[in-house]
């Protein structure tokens, strides 16, 4: 961060730069390259290289047990010709959109409450930790615990019937899109809460006081001060939630009882049948689409600028 500021200062210097300054700047630049080197190496080795392999395999031919090095476009052609692909993406995007909206509303409100309503720092930290408690158990357990709750003879249905609200068990509660969304929201809301909490906590409280002094009501304050200043957190949270939902197969498979599929669950079926090249093609397309989505979010909010603030 300091480096960034330094170079920024250097660039802003009004006088034309002397030769010495230029040399300084260059060595600073070189130093920052060295500083990023370890991360670059790790990313290249463990992300770049495998991605290249996947890309290469996506053009290969295959038989029942072998992948045959070749350069064919069939895997992509099959993918784009099949209406299943479109349906899978629509279904995954639908889940991503709904879950994003719900977790955003929840996440924003929870973070708002923690930052602006809880005055004592101790309570703030305490309540924040309470939010993370579910994360002490595994994802799978948190998700599966919904099954006995929502089932036909589950606790919720029994309670409804016991209270005389319904006379028949509600079937749509489990093994349905509804169940999938419930599980996603439960699993991913925290990913929204944490970054929003983080950016809200940086908001100078005197800004809010100034707004109130200037006669702004609560909603105007939220809309014109809190919301714009939490943009970074919202963007980061959205990236987490959207990529997690798009990349999921397990939740969709379990909570829909296999009734719904996601892009990744279809890809898994292909891997299980040893059909690596089409699975690789599908993965490549998936990476491109998710990257575009993330790029779109980052375009709306310059996360780097906001973080360096």
Which residues contact other proteins (rule: CB under 8 A)? 64-65, 82, 84, 87-88, 91, 147-148, 151-154, 171, 174-175, 253-254, 257-261, 265-266, 269-275
Q: How far is the CB of 173 from other proteins (least distance, A)?
A: 11
Closer of 17 and 148 to other proteins (Cβ) = 148
CB of 77 to other proteins, least distance (A): 13
Q: Which is nearer to other proteins, 130 or 273 (CB)?
A: 273
Residue 300 and residue 156: Cα distance in Å, rounded?
A: 41
Q: Shortest Cβ distance from residue 151 to other proteins (Å)?
A: 5
Based on CB atoms, which residue is closest to other proteins, 230 or 254? 254
Nearest to other proteins of 179, 192 (CB atom) = 179
Question: What's the closest the beta carbon of residue 56 comes to other proteins, in angstroms?
Answer: 17
On whether the CB atoms of residues 249 and 264 are closer than 8 A, the answer is yes
| Residue number, 24 or 74, with CB nearest to other proteins | 74
In this structure, the number of other CB atoms found within 10 A of the CB of residue 127 comes to 15
Q: Give the nearest distance from C-beta 85 to other proteins in angstroms.
A: 9
Instruction: Please state the closest distance from residue 243 (CB atom) to other proteins, in A.
Output: 21
Specify the residue, 108 or 276, whose C-beta has the smaller distance to other proteins.
276
Q: Quote the least distance from Cβ 53 to other proteins, whole Å.
A: 14
Closest C-alpha among 24, 215, 225, 205 to residue 116? 205
Residue closer to other proteins by CB (options 82, 109) is: 82
């Amino acid at each position: 961060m300091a480096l960034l500021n330094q170079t920024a200062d250097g660039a802003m210097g009004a006088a034309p730069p002397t030769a010495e300054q230029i040399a300084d700047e260059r060595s600073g630049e070189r130093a920052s390259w060295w500083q990023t080197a370890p991360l670059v190496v790790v990313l290249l080795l463990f992300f770049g290289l495998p991605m290249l392999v996947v890309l290469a395999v996506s053009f290969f031919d295959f038989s029942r047990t072998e992948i045959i090095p070749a350069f064919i476009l069939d895997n992509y052609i099959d993918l784009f010709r099949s209406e299943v692909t479109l349906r899978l993406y629509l279904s995954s995007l639908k889940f991503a959109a709904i879950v994003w909206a719900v977790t955003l509303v929840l996440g924003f409100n929870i973070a708002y409450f923690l930052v602006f309503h809880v005055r004592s720092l101790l309570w703030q930290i305490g309540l924040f930790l309470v939010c993370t408690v579910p994360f002490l158990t595994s994802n799978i357990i948190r998700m599966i615990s919904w099954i006995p709750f929502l089932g036909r003879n589950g606790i919720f249905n029994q309670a409804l019937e016991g209270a005389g609200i319904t006379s028949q068990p509600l079937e749509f509660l489990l093994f349905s899109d509804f169940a999938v969304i419930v599980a996603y929201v439960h699993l991913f809301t925290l990913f929204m809460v944490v970054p929003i909490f983080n950016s809200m906590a940086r908001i100078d409280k005197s800004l809010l006081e100034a707004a109130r002094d200037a006669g702004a009501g609560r909603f105007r304050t939220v809309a014109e001060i809190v919301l714009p200043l939490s943009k970074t957190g919202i963007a980061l949270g959205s990236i987490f939630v959207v990529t997690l939902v798009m990349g999921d197969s397990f939740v969709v498979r379990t909570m829909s009882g296999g009734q719904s599929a996601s892009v990744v669950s279809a890809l898994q079926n292909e891997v299980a049948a040893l059909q690596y090249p089409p699975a690789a093609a599908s993965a490549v397309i998936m990476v491109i689409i998710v990257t575009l989505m993330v790029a779109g979010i980052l375009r709306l909010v310059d996360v780097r600028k906001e973080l360096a603030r």
